[in-house]
Structure 1
Amino acid sequence: MKTRGAIIRQAPGKYEVVDLELDDPRQGELRVKMVASGMCHSDDHIATGDMPVGTYPFAGGHEGGGIIDTVGPNTPGFSPGDKVVFSFLPGCGKCRWCATGHSNMCDLGALLLAGSRFTDPESFRLHMEDGTPVGQMCGISTFCEYTTVAVDSAVKVPEDTPLDKACLLGCSVGTGWGSAVNAGKVRPGDTVVVQGIGGIGANAVQGAVHAGAVNVIAVDPVAFKREMAQSLGATHAVQSMGEATELAQSFTNGQGADVAIVTVGVIKGEHVAEAFGAIRKMGTVVVTALGDLTEVGIPIPIGELTLFEKKIQGAMFGMSNPSSDIPRMLDLYRAGHLKLDELVTNEYSLDEIGRGYEDMHTGKNIRGVIRY
């Protein structure tokens, strides 16, 4: 069938909306009519070239939810009309990582940016009208009105789920929340610094608050984002890591924060070094942000790493397990323990995707959402 979707033809490049040809679902696949898609910074990293992909043109979007239109043959567990939230990380359920409860590390993730079907690197679900293959972001491409995906990427949710909010559970919420709760292991009474309050950092604040941190220090140069962090539970909000470090030390008899979480829009080694300087002995820096994947080097004092037993911990999707944690976070939302509505700053049509990313760059959004 035909669909419309936002693609980039090269990197650096800008998203443009074009007509596309979409495959019917095969066995183990679903065709989904999109309801909403979050506009994550990672898709902007694709456009800038910070994250090179395997196929151009490339259809973006990896955070979304929709309603199943067609189920592939011999594909149990799903029916037309079911609502699904996508996980940008597929879970095969069979590899070493899935089998040990680390499905965010599933081996299928090696092909997230290849653009092809995970099971066949030469097979593509999307094509230009002239037959040119179009890569799918994370195998799902939520910047399309309809998309065909593997069941490994879809989590069924109850029929009364508000997908315009729940779509955020597929990336930003789990990534931020899990960065505090799973990767940072924030405990009651902790002092936590969150560096960068966007779609990820806002949820790191929520996760730290939920885990019982008594001091949650949000850091962002944009006043609107600092205000948003405080509305989500941050106890303090400052413009710089220097201010955050002094605050954390003042709360801890000079020791520093227990956990510092790096969720800036475009990460540099210096950001990690600032967070490293903000934590106490045996403290943890959680690195969640992305930037130029080819950059190497973190300017930290090696002696502190050894003698103070400080830790630098990477976090992919906040160490969450999508198939179990997306429903769990939806339950937290329903119970009033997790805010989703407040995260959606502005809504856009698919044709307004360019303006949505301009608003992100100018600090106007915690999360922009495309509504179909």
Structure 2
Amino acid sequence: MKIRAAVLQAVGSDRPYTSSQPLAIEQLELDPPGDHEVLVQIRAAGLCHSDLSVIDGNRPRPVPMALGHEAAGVVKTVGPGVTDLAPGDHVVTVFVPSCGHCAPCAEGRPALCEPAALANNAGSLIGGGHRLHRVDGTPVNHHLGVSAFADHAVVSRNSLIRIDKSLPFEHAALFGCAVLTGVGAAINSAGIRPGQTVAVIGLGGVGLNSVLGALVAGAGQVIAVDLDDDKLTMARALGASDGFNPSNPDCPEQIRDLTGGGVDCAIEMAGSEKALELAYRITRRGGLTVTGGLAHPDRKVSIQQVSLVAEERTLKGSYVGSCVPVRDVARYISLFRQGRLPVDRLLSDTLTLDQINEGFERLAAGKAIRQVILFDASKQI
């Protein structure tokens, strides 16, 4: 079938993206779903820093590539072997299509699925090969097994979580990445306990979800840290107790003074080595520093090695919030419905597919939290 999709032809385009137009809206050919695959009509797709990091070259991926990984939609058809989804079901996409059989999956850590990592890096589906082609037959790579900046997508069954049909698509889409990654980092990776002091460094869509996650976990004090004062205001409105701008050279000492020696847990979501070094500096003796920010592979962090031993410090990575999506998406949606996880307040704006380059320029400039592309089902091919 013919679809419209946003395709990245080359990485490293100059900004502003409103002028360089790194993403071109193309008509592509989409093959029907193969074994254990599903055709989804995309209804909403979020613009995320993981997409931006492919555009600017911080996360090398093969091009041409149809971007997008955080989405919600409707099942249209299912391929052979899919027995637990049916046309009309509403679904959220998950960007690690865990196989369920490799060592990490067997340990209950599907975010680290080994076949999924290989497929995602190669730009293919986990079942092998490509379902996207240009009209001349040239293959187009899939982004994280999803390629959601399109009116339709063929994805692995393991990339989908069925959800309640009453949840608006623009809210549902956020649960596939921003909520899983941010809330999961606080609840799963950090294991925040009631009364603990927590700092979140980097207040994009994922970082603000970490603020919400820390609050719902019962943190006694949540400190927000970002270079943008407007985002600090947003974090306070969501429930953060304090806000600090790290452009102030006294920021680390101010946080350590406020917390009597540092926070129990610092969560870095800026994707910057400087942000991670700051997170480590403001973590107390015996405390935990968690990083979920994706920096360029060449970036390295400098920390005082002896502190890991002499202060019994822990430095820990978090990918997809250490989540088990089939378990956690439902839990987080339940918290949202109870009003305890107001992720809808993070929705900055809604866009059309043709406005995607404008949206990524706003994201790169730090002027948006979460923007969502809405697709008009009545106008899709």
Q: Secondary structure at the match of 1:117?
A: coil
Does residue 285 in structure 1 map to residue 289 in structure 2?
A: yes
| Equivalent residue number for residue 338 of structure 1 | 341
Which of 141, 151, 155 is 2:157 aligned to?
A: 151
Match of 1:318 among 316, 321, 338: 321
Deviation at 1:252, TM superposition (A): 3.4
Change (3 A) 1:306 1:74: closer
The answer for unaligned runs of 5 or more in structure 2 is 14-21, 376-381
Residue 238 of structure 1: how far off its partner (Å): 1.6
Residue 361 of structure 1 is aligned with which of 361, 364, 371?
A: 364
1:247-271 residue CA offsets vs partner (Å, 9 max, x unmatched) = 4323433x2111111111x422x22
Which amino acid counterpart does residue 243 of structure 2 have in structure 1? A
Q: How does 1:1-372 map to 2 (within 5 A)?
A: 1-13=1-13, 14-53=22-61, 55-107=62-114, 108-120=116-128, 123-240=129-246, 244-253=251-260, 255-264=261-270, 266-268=271-273, 270-295=274-299, 297-372=300-375
How many angstroms does 1:358 deviate by? 1.1
- Cα distance between partner residues in 1 of 2:107 and 2:305: 32
User: Partners of 2:81 and 2:111 in 1: how far apart?
Assistant: 26
CA contact (8 A) 2:97 2:126 kept: no
SS of residue paired to 1:226: helix
Q: Deviations over 1:269-315 (max 9, x none)?
A: x22221111011111111110121132x3111112122111111000
Distance in structure 2 (CA, Å) of the matches to 1:119 and 1:29: 8
Q: Tell me the TM-score normalised to structure 2 length.
A: 0.93
Q: CA deviation at 1:244?
A: 4.8
Structure 2 counterpart of 1:101, one-letter code? G
Shift of residue 87, structure 1, vs aligned partner: 0.6
Question: Aligned pairs, how many?
Answer: 365
CA distance in 2, matches of 1:163, 1:231: 24
Classify the secondary structure of the residue corresponding to 1:188.
coil
2: CA distance, partners of 1:323 / 1:244: 39
| CA–CA separation in structure 2 for the residues paired with 1:117 and 1:302 | 40
Distance 1:243 1:333, change over 3 A: farther
The answer (yes or no) to whether the contact 1:166–1:340 under 8 Å persists in 2 is no
Shift of 1:109: 2.4
Paired residues of 1:65 and 1:83 also in contact (CA < 8 A): yes
Decide whether the 8 Å contact of 1:194 with 1:204 is kept in 2: yes
SS at match of 2:294: coil
CA distance in 2, matches of 1:330, 1:212: 18
Does structure 2 conserve the Cα–Cα contact (< 8 Å) formed by 1:65 and 1:84? yes
Q: Secondary structure at the match of 1:70?
A: strand
Report if the CA contact (8 A) 2:287-2:314 is conserved: yes
CA offsets 1:139-187 (integer angstroms, 9 cap, x no match): 1101111000110100111121212101111111111111111111211
- With 85-94 and 243-252 compared, the bigger mean Cα shift is at 243-252
Taking a change above 3 Å as real, the CA distance of residues 252 and 223 of structure 1, as seen in their structure-2 partners, is closer
Structure 1 unaligned residues grouped into runs of 5+: none
Q: How many angstroms apart in 1 are the aligned matches of 2:251 and 2:108?
A: 35
Matched residue SS, 1:133: coil
RMSD of aligned C-alpha atoms?
1.4
Q: TM-score, normalised by structure 1?
A: 0.95
Tell me which amino acid in the other structure corresponds to 2:94: S
SS of aligned partner of 1:73? coil
**Equivalent-residue separation in structure 2 for 1:178 and 1:232 (angstroms):** 17
8 Å CA contact retained: 1:282, 1:310: yes
Equivalent pairs: percent with the same residue? 37
CA distance in 2, matches of 1:351, 1:182: 37
- Give the superposition deviation at 1:33: 0.6
Cα distance, 1:76–1:150 mapped onto 2, change above 3 Å: same
Q: Distance in 2 between matches of 1:343 and 1:287?
A: 21
Aligned mates of 1:96, 1:335 — CA distance in 2? 36
Could you tell me how far apart the structure 2 residues matched to 1:360 and 1:222 are? 13
